[in-house]
């Protein structure tokens, strides 16, 4: 009896096309994590803050007193969002590794996701430091202004990590596009976010005013991408598995 496989059989496409079964746990995790990320950051608001260059200790105290509830909600939402992001990228990494064994996108998603999560936690710590102060009125004026100005460090770190995050988004989107694990519009959206980050870096290097526009495109795109890919993986898994 001949054992020759017909053209188009499974043996024509070895492990490079193996994928996590549709509707599997990683797809469900991606869906839940994407929705959780959306909920956390869709309802997070930033209280109006005084200008760093002119704010005095009294202005900062008033800001903390008026926005304590919002700051608390944002801190909780940020921590939950970080957990959701790590869960999402873990699921994405597994799906990509199964679809393209040995691809650099799988471990890169985890490493870059770790940097992004750390940056988000530090950002929350700098902006929410007032939550750990029993009574801001008891702090010396110099301490209050120093803590408030320290948020500049969080902003600078966020700009640096944004480039790494968008590089990961582009890498994952490219591999996902080729492996067909997400729908094409979602993959191209991720590539567009990555392109905006490249334009941001180049524009900053040459002193172009367009760098600011590219920054906001990359920033908001990087926040929307987890929602897009998480929901898309969940929907794609359910559709293919039905």
Q: Across residues 93-105, what is the average pLDDT?
A: 91
Residue 185 has pLDDT above 60, yes or no: yes
In percent, how much of the chain has pLDDT > 90? 47
Per-residue model confidence as pLDDT tens digits over 214-242: 999 999 999 999 999 999 999 887 765 55
Query: What DSSP line would sit under the chain, residue for residue?
Result: ---PPPTTSGGGS-GGG--PPTT-HHHHHHHHHHHHHHHHHHS--------TTT--HHHHHHHHHHTHHHHHHHHHHHHHHHHHHHHHHHHHHHHHHHHSTT-THHHHHHHHHHHHHHHHHHHHHHHTGGGG-S-GGGS-HHHHHHHHHTHHHHHHHHHHHHHHHHHHHHHHHHHHHHHT-S-HHHHHHHHHHHHHHHHHHHHHHHT-THHHHHHHHHHHHHHHHHHHHHHHHHHHHHHHH-
Per-residue model confidence as pLDDT tens digits over 11-31: 334 444 455 555 588 999 999
């Amino acid at each position: 009896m001949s054992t020759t496989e017909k053209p188009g059989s499974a043996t024509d496409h070895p492990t490079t096309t193996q994928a996590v079964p549709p509707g599997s746990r990683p797809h469900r995790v991606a869906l839940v994590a994407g929705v959780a990320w959306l909920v956390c950051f869709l309802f997070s608001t930033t209280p109006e803050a005084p200008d760093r260059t002119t704010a005095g200790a009294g202005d900062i105290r008033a800001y903390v007193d008026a926005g304590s509830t919002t700051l608390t909600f944002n801190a909780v939402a940020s921590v939950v969002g970080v957990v959701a992001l790590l869960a999402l990228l873990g699921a994405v990494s597994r799906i990509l590794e199964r679809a393209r064994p040995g691809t650099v996108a799988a471990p890169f998603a985890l490493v870059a996701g770790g940097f992004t999560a750390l940056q988000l936690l530090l950002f929350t710590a700098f902006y929410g430091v007032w939550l750990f102060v029993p009574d801001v009125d008891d702090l010396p004026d110099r301490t209050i202004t120093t803590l408030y100005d320290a948020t500049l460090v969080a902003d600078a770190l966020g700009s640096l990590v944004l480039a790494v995050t968008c590089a990961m988004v582009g890498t994952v989107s490219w591999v996902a596009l080729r492996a067909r694990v997400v729908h094409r519009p979602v993959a191209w959206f991720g590539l567009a976010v990555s392109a905006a980050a490249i334009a941001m870096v180049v524009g900053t290097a040459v002193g172009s005013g367009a760098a600011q526009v590219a920054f906001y495109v990359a920033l908001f795109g990087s926040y929307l991408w987890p929602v897009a890919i998480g929901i898309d993986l969940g929907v794609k898994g359910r559709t293919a598995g039905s």
